[in-house]
Amino acid sequence: MPSSLPSAPWRGVFLAACAAVLSAAFPASAETSSLALTPAPRLVEQAAGAFPLDRGVEIVVPDGDAGARNAASFLAGLIARSHGFTPDIREGAAGARPAIVFETSQVSGPEAYALTVGPDRAVIQASGDGGRLYGATTFWQLATQAPGARTVPAVRVEDAPRFGWRGLMLDSARHFQSVEFIKRFIDQMAVYKLNVLHWHLTDDQGWRLEIRKYPRLTGAGACRVPAGEAQKDIDPATGRPREYCGYYTQDQVREIVAYAAARNITIVPEIDMPGHAQAALVAYPEIGAALTPPKTVEADWGVFPYLFGVDDTAMGFARDVLDEVVELFPSPYIHVGGDEAVKDQWKANPAVQARMKALGVKDEHALQSWFIHELELHLKARGRRLIGWDEILEGGLAPDATVMSWRGLDGAVAAARMGHDTVLSPQPMLYLNHRQSGAPEEQPGRGKVVTLKEVYAFDPAPSQMTVDERRHVLGVQATLWTEHMRTEDRVWRSAWPRAAAVAEAGWSDEGRRSWAGFSARLPVETARLALLGNPFDILALEPTLVADRAGRRVRVGLGVPAGAGEIRYTTDGSTPTAKSPLYGEPITVPLDATVQARTFVDGRPLGEARRWTADARLAGTRYSGQLAMCSDKLNLALEDDAPLRGERAVFLIDILEPCWRWNAADLTGVSRIEVAVGQLPFNFQIGKDIEKITFRPPATPAGELEVRAGGCKGERIGVLPLAPAVDNPAVTVLTGAIASRSGKQDLCFTFTQRGVEPMWAIDRVTLVPGAMAGGK
């Protein structure tokens, strides 16, 4: 539930403890706007002077206080990475040396803390281990206000969280991450006071957790053969396609859980049931409801129909697995999924139907409710609470279940009205697998762009709830589904800096949150991420450009996808500074001019300068992410499956209606067109929706790319045969003539083919004026 921290009692305790040493350092009023602290603290007062942070500093903790020593060690490690030295840690009372001192004080709440920094003492006061750690991270943020800073500004901070659940979900089932990565990720979460790592460990595409009673779960369920071109990657040891494998041993899990606990992070494991079960059923088909069990772990994305059964064998398996899970994870909550459980196999299985009749449940939704309730009773007997996605509401919610709402906020509102606790994790605004920008270099993900500003704008106190209902909101959580994050680097870049916005939503009081304040801190926050060696998506913070022809000149439009800061630009080849011209509206420049642009926040650069040559090709080119989709059915930014190693193209495509539009394309003088195309495996489980995907019939065996003017029902002005691209699994550039047109018209691009395999996609389109025909 939201934290409640009366300010007056806390402030009294704080001042009484610190007055003798530090009260004279603070003036009656203090300026706080210059400090970059994220998430924004409850109270900040800055004073004159500074604390020296150099090799003479020591960290002092109370005798025998393991929590304080742990926080001190974490702080010492951060200082070592940012300042190049590790302060000494010792127990007892502070001496004559400048010292960072941990003290036990009865501040309100285990995660609350008070921090006072003066000329020779920095005092961190807390009553709980979480508060000690967060006081330490705030001190480190004060120490990294500027690159190379060797002093910490004198300041007083009083702070506590708004919500008790501030989380990120990491999907290790679709793509596997190393133990080392997860530890680094946990460290970064701790810096931003995030305290829950929801760990998605099982799904159709892989079972990642060792269960000793059922060894085939990882023996058979932790490997798959990737789709597409990867099937040609033959393992010489086996003569078969190389498999994608990975799982966590129980010893590794204990190590990660302990590592997280030392950083005040609870790991909530997710074992998905009754759906998303294919990997488990490959290992143990007898626990499933399918009349024809799956033989292999598939590489397709989407929703498979495979469900756990409901007989004694299946329920015994589920209980056995949960028994080992609760031994590994001390979290008070165990997540059982419950989402996207297509009921077709239950409907078709006579044994399941007989079980329903014996139980007296009216339909398959009620059967899932019974299934979840059985798991809840088992977990309750083990002293744990069940949490699941909002589908567990269907058919009736188990009495003590907690709902994680992902399909908007309706699930959270319904749960709260029924008196159940809830965690807010709605898509798309808190789904970090969505792209952060439409930049051509942006990495794969869900097609809809969810910007940093949109994430920050999410309100964790929904207006749809009454005040009483909001008391059931445990907190907020963002998700990292990894279908399209095959590398750890992509996980980092998908998460940060948007996860910092989520952290502020969960921690900071409503009155302390503002986009202006958060965006003003971004230059410092991105510098801290870089300082720790952790990647983040800089593309969303740097200017993007779209160019159009304007007679013999080029019209340039600039923007910052994240919505932060302002753009300064130059057209004379020089690097933009904070005094360069301010971009306000599209500019027109001579052909072949050099345009450079950079984002600035309060005069400080955010990211690097971007550089473009405003030539005819730039003005005549749109990448797929810059084109409009003809529909919004299931838009994805998909990575090409070739080459096997090295850089790959990323195509924006609506897989249910592959169709692209270039609105208001200037066709004056254009005689030819270049289109870079790629082909992808259709590795998507979309059920009967696949029958809705239609194409115009091809005129040749390989098919064609058709170009129409005036919209998708307009006149066909160009046809590019796909035959040259058929044998190239990577990107192929097709060229051809198009009928002459003048002025601006909407162009529509579609493929002709007889089925969805392969799925053709556009990488980029270039309109070629007569003067540059044949150019590359």
β pairing state of 650-654 and 635-639? antiparallel
Residue 34 has pLDDT above 90, yes or no: no
Contact in structure between 141 and 452 (CB atoms under 8 Å): no
Question: Does an H or E element contain 317, and which?
Answer: helix 312-328
Listed as own residue / partner, the contacts of 125-130 with beta carbons closer than 8 Å and 24 or more positions apart are: 125/14, 125/17, 125/18, 126/102, 128/67, 129/67, 129/70, 129/71, 129/264, 130/195, 130/264
Q: How far apart are the first and last CA of the chain?
A: 60
Residue 771 has pLDDT above 60, yes or no: no
Phi, psi of 223 (to 5 degrees): -130, 145
- The Cα–Cα gap between 130 and 136 comes to 10
The confidence score (pLDDT) of residue 770 equals 74
Mean of the per-residue pLDDT values of the chain: 92
> Residue ranges per domain, the chain?
7-159, 165-508, 539-619, 622-772
Question: What mean pLDDT do residues 746-764 have?
Answer: 96
Return the structure tokens found at 292: 């024809």
β pairing state of 223-224 and 202-203? unpaired
Q: 295-309 burial by CB neighbour count: b if 16+ within 10 A, else e? A: eebbbbbbbbbbbbb
Tell me the torsion sign for CA atoms 25, 27, 29, 34.
negative
Q: Would you place residue 14 in the very low, low, confident or very high pLDDT band (cuts 50, 70, 90)?
A: very low
pTM attached to this predicted model: 0.93
Q: Does domain 622-772 have CATH number 2.60.120.260?
A: yes
Question: What mean pLDDT do residues 571-597 have?
Answer: 97
Percent of the chain with pLDDT over 70: 95
Residue 776 has pLDDT above 70, yes or no: no
Residue type (1 letter), 174 = R
Contact in structure between 319 and 308 (CB atoms under 8 Å): no
Contact in structure between 272 and 179 (CB atoms under 8 Å): no
Tell me the torsion sign for CA atoms 727, 733, 736, 740.
positive
The confidence score (pLDDT) of residue 397 equals 83
Residue among 275, 403, 253, 410 nearest 333 (CA): 403
Catalytic residue among 340, 374, 394, 566: 340
Contact in structure between 650 and 761 (CB atoms under 8 Å): no
Question: What mean pLDDT do residues 435-445 have?
Answer: 93
Planar angle of CA 95, 98, 102, nearest 5 degrees: 75
Question: What mean pLDDT do residues 25-42 have?
Answer: 64
Q: Which residue blocks in 6-45 are alpha helix, DSSP H?
A: 7-22
Phi, psi of 436 (to 5 degrees): -95, -15
Residue among 396, 361, 352 nearest 376 (CA): 396
- The Cα–Cα gap between 436 and 726 comes to 32
Tens-digit pLDDT profile for residues 516-558: 999 999 999 999 999 999 999 999 999 999 999 998 999 999 9
Who's near 250: CB < 8 A, 6+ residues apart? Answer: 210, 212, 324, 328
The confidence score (pLDDT) of residue 489 equals 97
Tens-digit pLDDT profile for residues 602-653: 999 999 999 999 999 999 999 999 999 999 999 999 999 999 999 999 999 9
| Distance from chain centroid for Cα 217 | 27
What CATH class has 7-159?
alpha beta
Q: Return the number of other C-beta atoms located less than 10 Å from residue 647's C-beta.
A: 8
What CATH class has 539-619?
mainly beta
Angstrom CA distances, 714 to 81, 238, 283, 575, 746, stand at 60, 53, 53, 45, 9
Residue 340 a catalytic site member: yes
The confidence score (pLDDT) of residue 2 equals 34
Superfamily of domain 165-508: Glycosidases (3.20.20.80)
> What angle, 0 to 180 degrees and rounded to 10, lies between the N-to-C axes of helices 250-261 and 312-328?
50
Residue 33 has pLDDT above 90, yes or no: no
